[in-house]
Structure 1
Amino acid sequence: MTALQDGPVLAPPAGSQAAAPSRRQARAAASAAPREPRRWALDLGAVALLLLVPVIGFWPTFDGPLALLPGLGGLILGLGIAALGTLQRWGVLLLAAATVVAYFVFGGLFALPHTALAGVVPTGETLRGLALGVVTSWKSLLTTVAPVAAEDGHLVVPYLMLLVFAVVTGSLALRVRQPAWALLPAVACLALQIALGTSEPAAPVVQGILLAVVAIVWLTVRAAWAPARSAVALSSGTQPIEDRRHLVRRVASAAGVLAVAAAVGGASTLLAPPHEVRYVIRDVIIPPFDIRQYPSPMQDFRIYVKDFSDTPLFTVTGLPAGARVRLGTMDAYSGVVYNVSDSSSAFTPLRSNMAGDVEGTPADVRVEIGEYGDVWLPDAGYVDALEFEGERAEALRRATYYNPATGTGVVRTGLRSGDAYTFRTVVPPRPSDADLAADRFAAVDLPRPVAVPERLREIAADAISKQKATTPFAKVEALRTHLMESGYFSHGLKDEQYSLSGHGSARLSTMATAEQMVGDDEQYAALLALMAREVGIPARVVMGFHAEDASGSELVATGGNLHAWVEVAFEDAGWVAFDTTPDEDKEPKDQTTQPKADPQPMPLQPPPPPNEDADEPPLVTDDRKAEEESEPTPGYLGLVLAVGGISLGTIALLLAPFVIIGGIKASRRRKRREAPVPADRISGGWDELMDRAVDYGRGVPVGATRYEQSAQLVAILDEPRVQSLAVRADAGVFGPGEPTQEEIDAFWAEVDGVVVGMSKRASVWKRLRARVNLRSLTQSSRLATGVRSLRTRIASAAGESRR
């Protein structure tokens, strides 16, 4: 019987130096092959290089090598777990458990170093951040404008991604016979990185060539080693000349294919359009914030001046000398009001490292809110990070959105008395006039003004021509000088020259064409910005506070020190502030002089609140309604679908091996139970019992008779029914006739009873491990299958002869 199971051993032909190996020896050699050092070095090195491509792809997202630490850390940990799991023959459950343990143990070092002790030992905050980061880090990364900061927990994404995919890819490369299967998770990791990254690729040429070259070289060498391994390991050590020639031909052919693939890949990448970008999830997610729902801060300019002239709105401490406090930066003119837009950069939730690489004077500034009660966030310079204080700190943080490009922040719930916050900022120095004279205007993207008064272009051109200004700085100075010398100052209050509030197109047109221009910061800042835009100068309006004496570090903001000024973008100096309002003591020569274009008697009461003038013309209103109606789905839908899909995909990837293995075993049991030949259903029941015993770690001799196998299992399990099942199985297979369906059902019931007994005696951990154990799937051999088929045919022939 043993000779029948192992197969006939043929004698070597005459003159041969070694006998042909048996099938058992071939299987042993095949199972030992993956343990060869050169094979392991090749597989692990190839997987490391393949997964290095998505690590490099995270570079633009973090704006530097910051992403390399968590990515490389997760990659090294994942490959180590894959190698250890292969050596110890771990199942999927143990691999998953080891991955989870490594994720939490090393998460403080690679993903959240700012929360760990000495940047290495995880703390309670570290473990909490890692646990929540499995779900929340994807959303946080996608809804934050790149480059993102490490302090906000974004490093969890590359760390978790590379850890999981390195375990899966490394395990497949070391365990499966066809290494090409390992390319699937490697490519999936790269696709996920592209979806989570930015539209600007990091190094497409390097990434594309590296991926193609590594994949082709790896598969080629593995294919070349396969015949050499079988010939050398199982023979006397000599390789036939034909095999060597065949190997040389395969290596040369593969080298040619490699060279062509690398050349085509590199050429296609180099010849691609230079401005072509990728479509990523970040670009299709609509931020859940619309700046257009908030009125411009400029609409309340006259209210602050009139009603809060001596009222402390808020107090700012820690300001560098000469710094100004900003309420809002407005770059979009609608013909009615200068408003804040999100064209330069989107408003995003608060994060760290918002200032980037700005150079200047760093400062920690604290703001205490008094009577101020608006949504616009007072700040100064280039804010890098901001932290609220008090009971409402968390609620205010969640309600705050900030635009680093314009330095404008919005608190959706509004600020109120008692609120306080501290922000870290960088205040660039004011460039000298000599430096500005040698500078050029910067190329910036600003919204096109709408309904600009027709005369402003002509007035601006005349002012520049009169001053004979040729340089960019001289042109700005010419416009500013024209307004300061030709205009007069008035807030339009009781004891001042009459001056309408607002800065709509009609108000500015009347002011610019009058014999005497009369207005305050609101009108002069809007005039200078629009005149500059008409002659091609990038300008925007800023509303905020600054004291006449700029040497102090404390500023109490009131309506008396509220101002508006213009910022112009220069190539080297950046945005530079220009004051264009005439001195407050420069009053009109004739106190009764009224603008000729719109003569009106002096009213008995102060003018109505400027909010009444804030209604936009029908053109702007209709456009915005059309845009709102054209959005068929809410902004949150894309975000929820994207984050939910990524989270569910990650969970599904971790659970997929459990589901797949369980499905394979269930399918195997069903095929055995429903075999077309009744004798095969009996033998299938016995095979099911043996496989379940193997899954529970019970040693079963492969190739032995059923009685021999049952004798060993009886000693191990202390279950006498096993021997009776072996006798009944042999009788059903080799006995006369075919077993009836009742006998088959009874046999399977006994098998299930023995399996249930094994399950009850095992611990919960062993039962879970048995469900995902792969040993019963890999232990079955073609020889055993052939023996069972031969036995079935012999039994069938014997039954027919007896009949």
Structure 2
Amino acid sequence: MIRRYLSLVVTASLAAVAGLAFHRVFGLRPVLPVAAVAAVAPTVLAGLLSGPRRAGRPWPLWISLVLTVVAWTGTVAVTVLRPALSDGTLPRALREGVLGSWKSILTTLLPAPAEPELLVLVHVLVWLAAFGSAELALRTSLRAAPCLPPLAAFGAALLLGVDGPGGNLGLAAATVVLIAVLVLVRSEEAAWRPLLAGVPLAAVLGAVAFAAGPYVPVGAEPYNPREQVRAPPPQQRDGVSPLDRVGGWLLAPDQVLFRVEASRRENVRLAVLSRFDGVAWSSTARFVPTGSRVPAAPDAAGGSLRTSAQRITIRDLPGVWVPAADRPRRVDGLGVVVDPDSGSLAAAALLRPGQSYRVASEVREWRAGDLADAGVAQDAEAREAMRLPWGPGATKPPVQLEEFRRFAQNATAGAVSPVQQAAMLAVRLKSYARYDVTAPPGHSYRQLDYFLSEGRRGTPEHFAATYAVLARTLGLPTRIMVGFSGGRPAGNARDMRAGDVMVWPEVKFDKLGWVPFNPTPQRSDQSKDSDAVAAGETQQKLEQIQRNAASQQRGGGPDKTPQTPPPAPPAAADPPLPWWVYAVSIAGPLAIAYLLAVLLAPVLRRRRRRTGPPAARIAGAWRQALEHLGDVGLATARTLTAHEVAHFGAGHLGETALDHLRPLADLVNHTRFAPAPPGPHAADQAWEHTDRLGRLVTAKAGRLRRLRRRLHPRTLRRDRP
């Protein structure tokens, strides 16, 4: 009885460890109480229902199933879903938590927010694992079977936690230890000495697994179920592009849009616009929810990284785009969705004055050596960022494209590298037109042509959009950023006003990523604005490097065609796999399937023999005894009587075997020939003798020999020997 309830402690611990594996999804603090309650409550319930009801039998399983469903509903309502219970939305919260939480987790960048509807999934999985494990421990004799439900819950946590922060190596080692302890506790040995010696060995096994885990070679990326689930769009989207707001903001320059508290000045970006259709620039962002974390850039980039922490308070900033410095990595205090590719942030709802949040960003800094020999990026994103569509409904290319190409070639004549082309184009635009906040907004082909040919005055919108189009005619991949630079001092913070809006283009280089350029000239009235601060320090250093690159015209004259990097050679095709790889891929699963079959067949056969009426159980005990004797040389028993089999066992196992074989033979003969059927007590005695005989055979033949015989194909026969 002590071993029985001790096994419940181990199964509850296994279920709790499986629940803690969800820490990569939500973090440890929200998961810990949920896993503890969901592991202990069903285990206690199963233990209470396992007591004898009448005639020494436990309560039927269906009663346990009904009661555990009722208990789970009440427990989750008063713990995880207590807010929903208070406001009367419990049925909806239960339905969403059980049916839809998994999809919400798979479409959220981890860690996911610890919302009650999402934590319901942890609660129900751990509860089912603890209940199933406890019932298997109480109702079956299979030693390791109770570990299967917690392992299933652990596997679900691993799948949902792919790409989450942290790791589960320690929990995996703890699971190994608990499984070993569970097998020892459920051992049929009556002595406690093996258990006391086995627990330290199990702990050593777990320590070895924990230490060796980081060195286990992994041949492939883990399967990520998020790739199979498409993220939903934000619930509310801003119908007005930030680029279209630039002209209006510049006409009301003193309107405070948000406040930034930071130890270092950085340009703040608002939106990334990479798609141009000939009329307007728009975002290609595919937003997914996130609890707080923003993933790193998907492609490797050059330069050095520096961490920047900011606290931003919203004032009159409209829309849903959330400002942050460079590449944000963590956002706290505001529910946001994020585009993993560009790092753009958007609020789940329209921004409101007074909202405040903290953002930690990675700011990239470049040195002159990083940019010197950089080539143009050739990946799919870069190729898309070189496109120059003809325009909606157009059937032929616009005439402006050829004019733009000639302007760009003249502006970059003599450049010997893509970086020099990009820098010279920015310098040319700065001196070609002047800054004018009253210039009519717009950035279509026709409006950009007017800006270059007649107007020659514009806002950052015109300079950045013109640069992006001109650079694309040279084969440089470009996109447009809308953000803010400078600001007005406000104590230890800066107020970002509408007049501080800035638009700048970025060019993508191989092994460097997106590098910003500034083609916009300085405002004529900026020197008079005494309460403004300079642009970000990182941007100032980068612009100086680019000016130096533009001034170094090596080996070229005014008529020299700019050199573009040659296209990357096509990747060599992978060689075909050798024949033995296919052979192993076929033979491996077959070998594993055979191994599982020959190991499980005797277990299932023994379980089948122990069930049924008393006469069938006694016959099953006799067949099991014959199978044991087969391991010490008994070839067949068809021509032998039961007592002759008993004398064979005594000759090979010693006289002690007669103490079990003779009573077993008498029970078999009584079952076959007596007029009255045997009772349950006789069947229990028969199996007790058979189990003790099995131990004698193991001591005589050895475990290794018995294992080798079990691997023989005859193990799959219905009856042996």
TM-score normalised to structure 1 length: 0.45
TM-score normalised to structure 2 length: 0.49
